[in-house]
Structure 1
């Protein structure tokens, strides 16, 4: 298993992974699948020397999943805060892939001087909540029935993680 920074050539598989969750779960609130072109535009935000990073796990030349950090809000007040997410191929769950991705991502975020990491998880999702809590996230609240998909209301738990202060800033 290899973890590396995401490449443009990974976008096809990343799009497929996203679309699996859109079609089969409430983890993504979109009701229409993503196009490859849409994800290409989204992918442009990631740079290895920034707070906005994306890592993929490769095994036997296949992408098993990805984890990324993105802007929480696009105003300067949230400059030290990122939102993170991890998505895995259905066959990669329960094998430590998510933990491996987050381990790498959080080391890089610390090096970039990120102060606070947020994650919103659509409920129910015990496995994702457990993963985040293993990495030191704490619950900050639940948005009850604040979104709707396929005629059903969805709630989300929000979690936060404080990264150690990087004194080189």
Structure 2
């Protein structure tokens, strides 16, 4: 298994993973699957030498998951804050890949002036909440029934973590 920076050629596999969550879970709020073209545009925000990065886990050239740090809000007040997320392919859960991806991501972005990491987890998702807490994220609060998908209201737990070199390792 390899953890490496994401490449444009990974977008097809990333799109497949996103679409699994869109079509089968409430982890993504979209109701219409993404297109590869849409995800190629999304991919353009990432760079290996900036605070917005994307890492993938592969095995035998099969994409098993990804983690990324993205802009939280498009105003300068939030320049030192990133939103992080991790997604795994259906058969890749429970193997420690989420931890490996986050370890690489947090270590890599720690030198780019990131002060705060945020993550929102659609509930229920005990595995994702546990993963974030293992990395030192603290619960900030719950947005109760603030989203609706397929006629069902969804709540999300929001978590935060201060990022510095010591906490990234």
TM-score, normalisation: structure 2:
0.97
1:71 equivalent to 2:74? Answer no
Q: CA deviation at 1:3?
A: 0.6
* 2:11 alignment partner in structure 1: 11
Distance 1:15 1:61 in 2: 16
1:146 equivalent to 2:123? Answer no
Distance 2:126 2:17 in 1: 20
Q: CA deviation at 1:109?
A: 1.5
Distance 2:164 2:7 in 1: 28
* 2:164 alignment partner in structure 1: 164
Which runs of 5 or more residues in structure 2 are unaligned? none
* 2:20 alignment partner in structure 1: 20
Runs of 4+ that moved beyond 3 A? none
Residues 34-86 of structure 1 show CA distances to partners (whole Å, capped at 9, x for unaligned) of 01110000000000001100000011111100000000000000000000000
Contact 1:113 1:165 in 2 (8 A): no
Distance 2:10 2:165 in 1: 32
SS in 1 for 2:82: strand
Distance of aligned partners of 1:165 and 1:65 in 2 relative to their CA distance in 1, 3 Å threshold:
closer
Q: CA deviation at 1:165?
A: 7.0
Cα RMSD after superposing both structures: 1.0
TM-score, normalisation: structure 1:
0.97
SS in 2 for 1:111: coil
Which runs of 5 or more residues in structure 1 are unaligned? none
Contact 2:111 2:165 in 1 (8 A): no
User: How many residues end up aligned between the 2 structures?
Assistant: 166
* 1:90 alignment partner in structure 2: 90
